[in-house]
Amino acid sequence: MKITANEIKLVRSLRQKKFRDETGLFVAEGEKMVREAEDSNFAIINEYHIEEIGEKTMGRISMLSTPSPVLAILEQKPFPGKGDIMKLIESKPICLALDSVRDPGNLGTILRIADWFGMDAVFASPDTCDLYNPKVVQASMGSVFHKLFVRTELAEICSKFTECGMEIYGTYLDGEGLRTAPLSGNGLIVMGSESEGISKDITSYVTRKLLINPYPINSRPTDSLNVAMAAAIVCYEFRNR
C-alpha cells in the first residue's frame, strides 16, 4: 500500500485542533489503540502499517517520538443532543464533570479512570482540552472510543442533576474527609482545573464538598494531587461504598 503526498499532509495536519475541527477527523496510533478503535463504533477512514509504507514514511506521519507499527485516521463522533443528555440524567447516573481541565495527558488518563470505574459519562466545560488531541487519545489507552464524553456548559448540567434530586460533589481543600463523607450511588462529581480548582460559578451548584485527606490526616503536604490522581481516588471511593 502506498501513501500519497496529500495523505501525508492530511495526517500531519491533524496534529492541530484547527484541522481536526475542519475535517472532523483525528488520529490513533499503536496496535492496541487501533484494535480498540476497530472494536468500537467509530468509523475508520484509513489505516497505515509500517511494513506497507516503510519506517521513514511512518516517521513522517507519526505523532509519537518512536513511530508505532500502525496509525489510523478516524471520524469524530458528534456529542449527544440535549434530549439524550436529559434521558441520561433522568436515569440517575454517576458521572464526572471536568471544569477547565486543560492538560491533555490528564484528560486522557481521566477517561481511562472513568472507563475502569464504570462512570456513566464524562461532562466537560467548553474550555477543557480537545477530546481528539493526539495526547488525549494516546493517554486514554483506548477509553476514548468507549466512554461517553460530552462537551457542554457545566452550569446547565449541574442544574439538571439538582432538579433530578441528585447531589453535586466537588473536591476542595476545606471539604469533608472523603473516607467518612456520605456518598451516593448517583450524582455528579466535579473535578477542577490543575491550577485553579473548581470555578466559583460551578461551586455555587456543589452540594457536598469533599477533601482527599493527606497522610497523616493533619499533615500539610508540600504539593497537591494532580486532577487525574484525584479523580482515581474519588472514583474508587464512590465505587467502594
Q: What is the DSSP string of 65-85?
A: SS--SEEEEEE--PPPPHHHH
Please determine, for residue 221, whether its predicted confidence score (pLDDT) is greater than 70. Answer: no
For residue 18, give the C-alpha cell: 484547527
Please choose, from the candidates 143, 126, 186, 108, the residue with its C-alpha nearest in 3D space to the C-alpha of residue 37. Answer: 143
CATH superfamily of 82-240: SPOUT methyltransferase, trefoil knot domain (3.40.1280.10)
Whether pTM > 0.75 for this model: the answer is yes
With bands split at pLDDT 50, 70 and 90, how would you rate the model's confidence at 223?
low
Question: 75 near 28, Cβ under 8 Å?
Answer: no
With bands split at pLDDT 50, 70 and 90, how would you rate the model's confidence at 225?
confident
CATH number of 5-75, picked from 3.30.1490.20, 3.10.129.10, 1.10.3720.10, 3.30.1330.30: 3.30.1330.30
Q: Pick left, alpha or beta for residue 187 (phi over 0 → left; psi -120 to 50 → alpha; otherwise beta).
A: left
Mean pLDDT is lowest, of 7-21, 84-98, 214-228, for 214-228
Within 8 A by CB and 6+ apart from 65, the residues are: none
With bands split at pLDDT 50, 70 and 90, how would you rate the model's confidence at 222?
low
Please determine, for residue 194, whether its predicted confidence score (pLDDT) is greater than 80. Answer: no
pLDDT top residue among 231 and 193: 231
What SS3 class is residue 20? helix
pLDDT tens-digit map of 44-97: 999 999 999 999 999 999 999 889 999 999 999 999 999 999 999 999 999 999
Cα separation, 69 vs 24, whole angstroms: 24
With bands split at pLDDT 50, 70 and 90, how would you rate the model's confidence at 215?
confident
Sign of the CA dihedral with 166 first, then 171, 177, and 179 last: positive
Element at 109 (helix H, strand E): helix 104-116
Phi and psi angles of residue 79, each rounded to the nearest 5 degrees, phi first: -70, 150
- Other beta carbons within 10 Å of 156: 11
* Domain coordinates in residue numbering, the chain: 5-75, 82-240
For residue 84, give the C-alpha cell: 439524550
